């Protein structure tokens, strides 16, 4: 039986409904991981460092998809809760077309400035040329990647999370297969090109498939139609989704800062080691992000229908699940620190040793990460974009920047890894304060 947003959610039903979104986010994060694995093992350390150096800048440009996806889906789900399906479809269409147009603009802008940006990030010589090459190819597919990120939220709002997962699995498998073929078989000078083409092709598929589905008659709650301009709704989606925008932009900016610190303390090896940890972090964080994306439309729907008792129950169940995920992933990361590091950088003993040590320290950040991510998504679902943005802004930018600038002065390279734990712990404490302070206002 199909699960509907209007249902009462037990733990089992909540997990069943959110698992496809978790899987979707995991497969989305695998893009960079697969590229990193093949580039590191078959193209070499310098191309691997180039991918890690330019990727944060590319992700900044794609965040508009997260913004309109999370912010827009909260509005659309709220309309569905009020039983205004016509308005929901109209606004859904507006958010999709606006996101694609902005993606095209950012793609053109990125192609013009990828070289000066790479130089600004500290790339030179062969590393610079590799950054420009990889970046230009990924920028071509950027508008479709924006759509893919946007539709991750709207598949859930449409009560089709399994279809969203299927779409992402197809694009993810495309990336894996093309990476295996192009990176391994192409000659050395073209291996990095092959990795970039593999990712670009998978992103295009991930963006086009949902367009065809929602553009045709379907049995879901929403579908694309001719949009009408609604400046107020666009602004509401932007402000409501600003937390996800800020979170992703901040993470990219902080990633750039981490790379800058690591070049100072450990050189190219530091960037490569950090890259391995970020790949694992993306997959683990995607569990929390995917759960938040999957649960958000349910919360928005019941908030729109005035069912505060269900909202309260959803929050309690979600916090229990987040705690369970957090402890499990921390233990899992500690156990896998050595084998995962060996998988990516086993060819270089010094780099391997640096990565394993950093991994074992960094893993404790997963104990705190989930609460802040879910808390931000929870307030987005309640259309409280300001609180959501504040949590994300402090978590992903302020706390991280302060920690990574100060702790390395005391602990050198280890201070870089400790800074992530400190920042996530502070963000978790802040989220707990907001959840308590807003309890009466939202009656949860």
CA dihedral 29, 32, 36, 42 (to 10 degrees): 120
User: What's the burial of 83, exposed, middle or buried (CB within 10 Å: 0-12/13-18/19+)?
Assistant: exposed
Q: What is the pLDDT of residue 160?
A: 87
Q: Is residue 298 part of a domain?
A: yes
- When the pLDDT of each residue in the chain is averaged and rounded to a whole number, the result is 86
Q: Is residue 4 part of a domain?
A: no
Angle subtended by helix axes 142-157 and 125-140, to nearest 10: 50
pLDDT per position as a tens digit, 35-85? 777 888 888 878 888 887 888 788 888 888 888 888 888 888 888 888 888
How many CB atoms are closer than 10 A to CB 159?
Answer: 21
Token pair 């790949």 is found at 279
- Of 200, 170, 146, 164, the residue nearest 35 (C-alpha): 200
Q: Is residue 186 part of a domain?
A: yes
Q: Is residue 5 part of a domain?
A: no
CA distances from residue 68 to 83, 138, 331, 397 in whole angstroms, order as listed: 21, 21, 34, 21
**What is d(CA 371, CA 373) in angstroms, rounded to the nearest whole number?**
6
What does the DSSP 8-state code read for residue 323? H
**What is d(CA 368, CA 186) in angstroms, rounded to the nearest whole number?**
42
Share of the chain above pLDDT 70, in %: 97
**What is d(CA 295, CA 318) in angstroms, rounded to the nearest whole number?**
8
Q: What predicted TM-score, i.e. pTM, was given to this entire model?
A: 0.71
The dihedrals phi and psi of 227, each to the nearest 5 degrees, come to -80, 160
**What is d(CA 327, CA 320) in angstroms, rounded to the nearest whole number?**
11
The dihedrals phi and psi of 218, each to the nearest 5 degrees, come to -145, 175
CB of 404 closer than 8 Å to CB of 258: yes
Q: What is the pLDDT of residue 390?
A: 87
pLDDT per position as a tens digit, 106-155? 999 999 999 999 998 878 888 899 999 999 999 999 999 999 989 988 88
- Of 157, 145, 163, the residue nearest 29 (C-alpha): 145
CA distances from residue 261 to 184, 258, 270, 326 in whole angstroms, order as listed: 32, 5, 9, 28
Q: What is the pLDDT of residue 51?
A: 85
The dihedrals phi and psi of 219, each to the nearest 5 degrees, come to -95, 10
Q: What is the pLDDT of residue 400?
A: 86
User: What's the burial of 43, exposed, middle or buried (CB within 10 Å: 0-12/13-18/19+)?
Assistant: buried
The DSSP result for 352-413, as a single string, is HHHHHHHHHHHGGGHHHHHHHHHHHHHHHHTT-HHHHHHHHHIIIIIHHHHHHHHHHHHHTH
Which residues form the domain of 423?
11-442
Q: Is residue 22 part of a domain?
A: yes
CA distances from residue 135 to 73, 193, 253 in whole angstroms, order as listed: 30, 10, 16
Q: Is residue 233 part of a domain?
A: yes
**What is d(CA 425, CA 377) in angstroms, rounded to the nearest whole number?**
18
Q: What is the pLDDT of residue 243?
A: 66
Cα 147 off chain centre by: 14
Cα 331 off chain centre by: 22
- Number of independent structural domains in the chain: 1
Q: What is the pLDDT of residue 244?
A: 67
CB of 18 closer than 8 Å to CB of 291: yes
Q: Which two tokens stand for residue 244?
A: 């996800």
For the chain, which ranges sit under pLDDT 70? 1, 31-32, 243-244, 246-248, 251, 268, 442, 444
Which 3 state secondary structure label does DSSP give 226? coil
Q: Is residue 1 part of a domain?
A: no
Q: Is residue 287 part of a domain?
A: yes
């Amino acid at each position: 039986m199909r699960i509907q947003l209007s249902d009462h959610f037990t733990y089992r039903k909540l997990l069943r409904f959110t698992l496809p979104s978790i899987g979707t986010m995991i497969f989305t994060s695998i893009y960079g991981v697969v590229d990193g694995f093949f580039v590191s093992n078959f193209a070499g350390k310098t191309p691997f460092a180039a991918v890690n150096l330019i990727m944060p800048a590319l992700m900044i440009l794609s965040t508009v998809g997260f913004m309109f996806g999370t912010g827009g889906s909260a509005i659309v789900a709220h309309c569905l809760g009020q039983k205004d399906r016509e308005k929901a479809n109209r606004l859904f269409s507006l958010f999709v077309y606006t996101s694609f147009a902005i993606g095209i603009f950012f793609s053109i802008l990125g192609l013009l400035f990828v070289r000066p940006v790479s130089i600004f990030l500290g790339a030179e010589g062969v590393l610079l040329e590799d950054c420009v090459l990889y970046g230009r190819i990924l920028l071509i597919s950027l508008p479709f990647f924006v759509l893919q990120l946007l539709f991750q939220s709207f598949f859930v709002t449409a009560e089709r999370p399994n279809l969203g997962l299927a779409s992402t699995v197809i694009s993810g498998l495309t990336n894996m297969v093309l990476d295996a073929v192009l990176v391994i078989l192409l000659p050395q000078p073209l291996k990095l090109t092959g990795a970039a083409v593999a990712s670009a092709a998978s992103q295009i598929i991930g963006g086009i498939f949902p367009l065809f589905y929602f553009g045709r008659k379907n049995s879901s709650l929403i579908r694309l139609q001719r949009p009408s301009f609604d400046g107020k709704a666009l602004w509401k989606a932007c402000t409501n989704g600003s937390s996800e925008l800020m979170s992703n932009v901040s993470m990219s900016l902080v990633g750039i800062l981490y790379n800058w610190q690591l070049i100072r303390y450990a050189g190219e090896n530091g960037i490569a080691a950090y890259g391995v940890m970020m790949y694992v972090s993306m997959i683990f964080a995607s569990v929390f992000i995917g759960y938040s994306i999957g649960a958000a439309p349910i919360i928005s729907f019941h908030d729109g229908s005035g069912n505060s008792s269900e909202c309260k129950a959803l929050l309690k169940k979600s916090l229990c699940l987040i705690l369970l995920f957090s402890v499990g992933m921390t233990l899992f990361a500690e156990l896998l620190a050595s084998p995962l590091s060996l998988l990516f950088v086993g060819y270089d003993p010094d780099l391997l040793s640096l990565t394993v040590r950093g991994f074992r320290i960094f893993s404790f950040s997963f104990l705190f990460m989930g609460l802040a991510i879910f808390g931000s998504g929870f307030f987005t679902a309640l259309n409280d974009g300001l609180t959501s943005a504040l949590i994300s802004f402090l978590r992903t930018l302020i706390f991280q920047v302060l920690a990574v600038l100060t702790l390395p002065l005391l602990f050198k390279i280890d201070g870089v890894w400790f800074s992530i734990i400190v920042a996530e712990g502070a963000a978790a404490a802040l989220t707990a304060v907001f959840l308590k302070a807003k309890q009466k206002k939202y009656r949860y």
